[in-house]
Amino acid sequence: MNIHEYIESGIIERYLLGLTSAQEDAELFALRRVYPILDVEFAAAEIRIENKLVEEGEMPPVALGSIILNRFKTDDANNNGPDGNTGRYQRYHTPPPKDTYILEPFWKRRMTVSIWWRCVLIAMVIIIMALAASTWHFYRQSTRFEDALIKIKVQSAGSQAP
């Protein structure tokens, strides 16, 4: 097989455009393992296709850019959200449900948390604190029992000595 004829057949361009069959894909990948020049041709074909698309592409209307940018402005004084803050809910069409909290950390991301998750978190903290307290209590109790056991063994060993 002449690899240069195979490359010139346009199989790489057809593959990059998604026009090849599964059999042609398998053949192309098998040949890529054997002929490293195909990797170079893949990169060159990608660049050629990208340049062609850029040359023939149409620019969107100028008005479309301003419309899109106006959607993302959050500091617009005319857009008051349902809570009275300017732009807080501008991207949302409906306010969040009443049983949710909106957390806005310093990195300006929004996260809506249900009130039930807050209750679950509080319950978990209480359980963890109770487990820590009981662990400390049983540790202290076991050390007291060990001390008492050592005293009993020492006393019994002292009384058995002749």
pTM: 0.38
Buried b (16+ CB within 10 A) or exposed e, 24-54: eeeebeebeeeeeebeebbeebeeeeeeeee
| Residue 124, SS3 per DSSP | helix
Q: Where are the alpha helices (DSSP H) in the chain?
A: 3-8, 11-16, 22-34, 37-56, 62-71, 115-160
In this predicted model, what pLDDT tens digit does every residue of 100-132 receive, in sequence order?
666 666 666 666 777 888 889 999 999 999 999
In this predicted model, what pLDDT tens digit does every residue of 41-70 receive, in sequence order?
999 999 999 999 888 888 878 888 777 777
In this predicted model, what pLDDT tens digit does every residue of 14-36 receive, in sequence order?
999 889 999 999 999 899 999 98
